[in-house]
Amino acid sequence: MSPKTGSVEIICGSMFSGKTEEMIRRLRRAVIAKQKVQVFKPIIDNRYKAERVTSHAGLDFEALPIKDSSDIQINLMTDTTVVGIDEAQFFDDGIVDVIESLADKGMRVLVTGLDMNFRGEPFGCMPVLLSRADKVDKLQAICMVCGEPATRTQRLVNGKPAHFDDPVVIVGASEMYEARCRSHHEVPKD
């Protein structure tokens, strides 16, 4: 019998597009299939439950919060066959090599992340992961202005679009972010 071929599946899109919800759906199916699943999330993502990945709709799955990508290898159990990694854009650049290594060892790696930051620019490690993935699903949300499909994440500060020079990483949810279509996404530069 030949060894199982690993894979990297990326689930990306704007905030509120259902990335984590889709990963949880796939993880639950793996559990039903009696596969050993482990999930990791960045420790800075403290929006909901500390030791769970949680969708905005309230679905959740057990996860280990970690500081950097090397913590995945340290905490990986020998019988794990499916690895979930939530919010990959928040990890250090080493996450790419960790994900590739897991897949090369025959594991199925499910990764979620924002493909673009609030400015509409590629976010962190995501462009590299997208180019190396075996499967990519780009999900869309609903524009909070017009109701059309949304592919962008709008950061709001006191109800107004965040300025281009604002920090790229600020963890938050609906209190400071909205999904927007290309036409309604605003990033003032002056």
Q: Show which residues are catalytic.
A: 87
Do 155 and 162 contact (CB within 8 A), yes or no?
yes
Ramachandran region, residue 102 (left: φ > 0; alpha: ψ -120 to 50; beta: rest): alpha
Q: How many CB atoms lie within 10 A of CB 154?
A: 24
Do 179 and 142 contact (CB within 8 A), yes or no?
yes
Nearest to 38 by CA among 55, 62, 22: 62
Do 19 and 113 contact (CB within 8 A), yes or no?
yes
Give the CA diameter of the chain.
62
The token pair at 167 is 């920090």
Distance CA 177, CA 173 (A): 6
